[in-house]
Amino acid sequence: MPNTEKKRKRASVAFNDATIVNAETTNFPPIVASTAGITLPDLPFNPYARVDSAASKKKKTRPEYLLHGTNARLDYEGLEDSSELVKHYVGIYDPATGTVELHPAPAVQVKSSVKAHRQRDLENQNKGSESTFAESRVALGKAFGTRKAQSALTSREINKVDASGVDASVGSAIMGHVEENTKDMPSTEELGKSLQSDKPLPKYNKDAAKVADIYKREDLISEEEWNSVWLKDWVENNTADTKFVYVKTRANRLLEDHGDKKYAKELKILKYIASLLDFYVVQSKARGKLMPLHKAKGIFKHTPPAVIEAFYEKFAEVTPGQQTKDETGKLRNNDRYSVPPRLEQKILFWIAILSLMVDQYDVDMFDLKTDLSIQPKELSQVFREVGCSIKELTQLQAQNLGVTKQEALQRKRAVLKVPLEFPPPPRKRAAAGRR
**With 90 as the cut, is the pLDDT of residue 23 above it?**
no
Instruction: Confirm whether 206 is domain-assigned.
Output: no
Which pLDDT score is estimated for 280? 95
pLDDT digits (tens, 9 = 90+) for 45-90: 888 887 766 655 555 567 788 888 888 888 888 888 766 677 888 8
Q: Based on the fold, state whether residues 103 and 225 are members of the same structural domain.
A: no
End-to-end Cα separation, the chain, in angstroms:
86
State the Cα–Cα distance between residues 260 and 231, nearest whole angstrom.
8
Which pLDDT score is estimated for 435? 47
Instruction: Confirm whether 180 is domain-assigned.
Output: no
pLDDT band at 344 (very low <50, low <70, confident <90, very high): very high
293-314: average pLDDT: 89
DSSP string, 204-272: --TT-SSGGGTS-GGGTS-HHHHHH---HHHHHHTS---S-HHHHHHHHHHHHTTHHHHHHHHHHHHHH
State the Cα–Cα distance between residues 45 and 74, nearest whole angstrom.
13
Q: Based on the fold, state whether residues 116 and 217 are members of the same structural domain.
A: no
387-392: average pLDDT: 92
Residue where a domain terminates, one of 88, 120, 152: 120
pLDDT digits (tens, 9 = 90+) for 345-389: 999 999 999 999 999 999 999 999 999 999 999 999 999 999 999
Cis bond upstream, residue 95 (ω within 30): no
Which pLDDT score is estimated for 58? 53
Percent of the chain with pLDDT over 70: 79
State the Cα–Cα distance between residues 43 and 70, nearest whole angstrom.
8
pLDDT band at 429 (very low <50, low <70, confident <90, very high): low
Which of 217, 203, 258, 202 lies closest to 235, judged by CA? 258
Q: Based on the fold, state whether residues 274 and 405 are members of the same structural domain.
A: yes
Instruction: Confirm whether 130 is domain-assigned.
Output: no
Cβ neighbours for 354, distance < 8 A, ≥ 6 positions apart? 220, 221, 269, 272, 273, 276
Instruction: Confirm whether 421 is domain-assigned.
Output: no
DSSP for residue 59: S
Which pLDDT score is estimated for 326? 61
**With 70 as the cut, is the pLDDT of residue 320 above it?**
yes
- Looking at the chain, how many residues does it have? 435
Total domains in the fold of the chain = 2
Interior angle at CA 127, CA 121 and CA 130, nearest 5: 135
Cβ neighbours for 420, distance < 8 A, ≥ 6 positions apart? 204, 205, 206, 208, 214, 387
Instruction: Confirm whether 201 is domain-assigned.
Output: no
Given a contact cutoff of 8 angstroms between Cβ atoms, the answer to whether 31 and 105 are in contact is yes
Which pLDDT score is estimated for 161? 66
DSSP string, 62-124: PPEEEEEEE-SSEEEEEEE-TT-----EEEEEETTTTEEEEEE--EEEEEEEEGGGHHHHHHH
State the Cα–Cα distance between residues 204 and 378, nearest whole angstrom.
22
Segment among 129-133, 154-158, 160-164, 219-223 with least mean pLDDT: 129-133
Q: How many CB atoms lie within 10 A of CB 138?
A: 15
Instruction: Confirm whether 173 is domain-assigned.
Output: no
Containing structural domain, residue 79: 19-51+62-120
Relative to beta strand 107-114, strand 32-35 is parallel
Given a contact cutoff of 8 angstroms between Cβ atoms, the answer to whether 420 and 387 are in contact is yes
DSSP string, 65-76: EEEEEE-SSEEE
Which pLDDT score is estimated for 219? 94
Given a contact cutoff of 8 angstroms between Cβ atoms, the answer to whether 254 and 241 are in contact is no
Instruction: Confirm whether 343 is domain-assigned.
Output: yes
State the Cα–Cα distance between residues 110 and 155, nearest whole angstrom.
39
**With 50 as the cut, is the pLDDT of residue 291 above it?**
yes
Highest mean pLDDT among 109-113, 116-120, 226-230, 254-258: 226-230
Cis bond upstream, residue 419 (ω within 30): yes
Which pLDDT score is estimated for 325? 61
Q: Based on the fold, state whether residues 266 and 404 are members of the same structural domain.
A: yes
Segment among 116-130, 203-217, 219-233 with least mean pLDDT: 116-130
What 3-state class would DSSP assign to 319?
Answer: strand
pLDDT band at 22 (very low <50, low <70, confident <90, very high): confident
pLDDT digits (tens, 9 = 90+) for 159-194: 776 665 556 666 677 777 777 776 666 565 555 555
Q: Based on the fold, state whether residues 215 and 320 are members of the same structural domain.
A: yes
Which pLDDT score is estimated for 11? 47
Question: pLDDT averaged over the chain?
Answer: 81
117-140: average pLDDT: 69
Residue where a domain terminates, one of 120, 142, 158: 120
Q: Based on the fold, state whether residues 92 and 222 are members of the same structural domain.
A: no
Given a contact cutoff of 8 angstroms between Cβ atoms, the answer to whether 205 and 221 are in contact is no
**What pTM value is reported for the model?**
0.55
pLDDT band at 41 (very low <50, low <70, confident <90, very high): confident
Interior angle at CA 340, CA 339 and CA 342, nearest 5: 115
Given a contact cutoff of 8 angstroms between Cβ atoms, the answer to whether 240 and 253 are in contact is no
Strand-pair partners of 78: 67, 110
14-35: average pLDDT: 77
Instruction: Confirm whether 41 is domain-assigned.
Output: yes
